A and B are shown apart, each in its own frame.
Chain A
């Protein structure tokens, strides 16, 4: 058997693929103003507590992909210190999609819970 931590990492990564999109959309949906990557990462760090579910660097490609699909919008603004920041905001398409995805997540969650407990 491959060592268990490698397998666990792989398992984690595969689960994250879809969940990251749902989480990022939700965070931006609840935020009153556009957020930049580091801000989002910080907020997620608070939610996850000590456990770290995914590397912060992996959030960015997901943000780009959500933007490509029209679910997010972004603009670059100069910052006082350091390089310009890209601020992300959810679009109305994104909000609609989020409602659907939340539904999918709920069904999925109850299905997985039942499968784990066995009925």
Chain B
């Protein structure tokens, strides 16, 4: 017999141990929200029932941990996460290489690399400001509520980042914030957040994102401009009579026979980068998942 909601959640977690971390987090959050609401309303209607009896009735209606777990597994099996449809299994390596243009994941990863620059700066600023002010305010009594607000905002940002990662990189992430016990006093909640490794991983992620955001952005802009420049050289030379390279007052022209090579080179460079971006996106998604989602 299950004696508390916490025990139910533990059992549910065990049942779902082979499932996707994001599904587990959804399932736990759903169960906790429902069971607490149901228990509260039942206690109102039947105040004389003991906690155990009430919980038994509530679980009877909600479903045992096994039943609930099997419902999630069933839906998980049928659901295809967005942007992760496998592109047709092309046999030739060449088709796979150029097939990247039709792959939503590659375009999503490119967009993500641009966005990461902005979010990286925001996260970094937020984390540094929050940590520094929390630490210095800790000398005063209002430092503690301030730290609590900061830790809660970290949770919120981690969730937001998860949504961006899922939409653009196609890596499944949790749908809702993780919360544990609702009846905690704010001081206990602060302690819990402080001791939770997930909070610190999220903060670490916010720092890493800053560095990675810059690297992604620089890579993106550099390679895009190189590719475009290569392809623009023939146009520049033929239409405007401009030399491709201008040094010490001397114009250097590429010979006409090299035009096709330049265009092909530019195109290949960009296509290679698209393939790289897709790989980077997948790696980044895996990192985000391991740092932002609680197992």
Interface membership of A64, Cβ < 8 A:
yes
Known: A55-B68, A57-B63, A58-B71. A82 touches B37 (CB 8 A): yes
Cα of A68 to Cα of B30 in the assembled complex, Å: 16
A83–B179 touching, CB < 8 Å: yes
Nearest chain-B residue to A16 (Cβ)? B71
B68–A57 touching, CB < 8 Å: yes
Nearest chain-A residue to B39 (Cβ)? A82
Interface membership of A101, Cβ < 8 A:
no
Interface membership of A52, Cβ < 8 A:
yes
Cα of A83 to Cα of B39 in the assembled complex, Å: 13
Known: A64-B175, A82-B33, A83-B32. A56 touches B40 (CB 8 A): no
B179–A84 touching, CB < 8 Å: yes
Cα of A14 to Cα of B79 in the assembled complex, Å: 17
Give the contact stretch, choosing among A24-32, A33-41, A91-99, A106-114.
A33-41
Number of B interface residues, CB 8 Å?
A: 32
Interface membership of A62, Cβ < 8 A:
yes
A36–B33 touching, CB < 8 Å: yes
Known: A76-B176, A84-B177, A86-B33. A61 touches B75 (CB 8 A): yes
Nearest chain-A residue to B71 (Cβ)? A58
A82–B36 touching, CB < 8 Å: yes
- Other-chain residue from B34, B177, B182 in contact with A37 (beta carbon distance below 8 A): B34
- Residues of A within 8 Å of B40, CB to CB, are 81-82
Most buried by B among A36, A38, A41, A85: A38
Interface membership of A105, Cβ < 8 A:
no
A55–B67 touching, CB < 8 Å: yes
Nearest chain-B residue to A67 (Cβ)? B175
B176–A58 touching, CB < 8 Å: no
Interface membership of B165, Cβ < 8 A:
no
Known: A68-B82, A81-B40, A82-B182. A41 touches B68 (CB 8 A): no
- Residues of A within 8 Å of B32, CB to CB, are 83
**What distance in Å separates the Cβ of A39 from its nearest Cβ neighbour in chain B?**
8
Most buried by B among A45, A52, A56, A85: A56
Most buried by A among B26, B33, B63, B79: B33
Cα of A45 to Cα of B182 in the assembled complex, Å: 26
B34–A61 touching, CB < 8 Å: no
Interface membership of B74, Cβ < 8 A:
yes
CB<8 Å pairs between A and B, sample of 12: A37-B30, A37-B34, A38-B33, A41-B38, A55-B61, A55-B62, A56-B61, A56-B63, A57-B67, A60-B72, A61-B72, A86-B33
